[in-house]
Amino acid sequence: MKPINVGLLGIGTVGGGTFTVLKRNAEEITRRAGRPIVITTVADKNLELARKVTGGDVKLTDDAFAVVADPEIDIVVELIGGYGVAKELCLLYTSDAADEEGRGSSVGPLILKKKM
């Protein structure tokens, strides 16, 4: 079965922890979900930090908008924080998702599911 591809926006304290937990528990997550859930792309302005945290095991970019637009990404996890770019990314995604699927927006650290 095709893995669920995750795009992670932000690899700071929370994003790094999320990456580590998903990687460390990949086998159990796959067992429970019935298929792998894999972070395939990480977006962060600090690519050096992103390389250090991920070990270079995923695609890295400093363009979070590219992750949101990537058709290969099934779920986007927004962990940038703040009200600037993070809000813009979420509004962009949720407006597109609402147009396509009739969904509204969410609040807080966001996990945004794309149409699969």
Residue 43 in contact with residue 66, Cβ under 8 Å?
A: yes
Does any domain span residue 57?
yes
Residue 16 belongs to what domain range?
1-82
Does any domain span residue 89?
no
pLDDT digits (tens, 9 = 90+) for 81-102: 777 777 777 776 666 543 444 3
Residue 90 in contact with residue 112, Cβ under 8 Å?
A: yes
Does any domain span residue 95?
no
Compute the distance between CA of residue 51 and CA of residue 60 in angstroms, rounded to an integer: 8
Does any domain span residue 116?
no
pLDDT digits (tens, 9 = 90+) for 29-38: 999 999 999 9
Does any domain span residue 99?
no
Residue 105 neighbours by CB under 8 Å, 6+ apart? 90, 91, 94, 98
Q: What is the CATH number of the domain that holds 36?
A: 3.40.50.720
Does any domain span residue 108?
no
Does any domain span residue 13?
yes
Compute the distance between CA of residue 24 and CA of residue 34 in angstroms, rounded to an integer: 17
Count of domains forming the chain: 1
Residue 80 in contact with residue 45, Cβ under 8 Å?
A: no
Q: What is the mean pLDDT of the chain?
A: 81
Compute the distance between CA of residue 54 and CA of residue 84 in angstroms, rounded to an integer: 25
Does any domain span residue 30?
yes
Q: Which residue has the higher pLDDT, 114 or 28?
A: 28
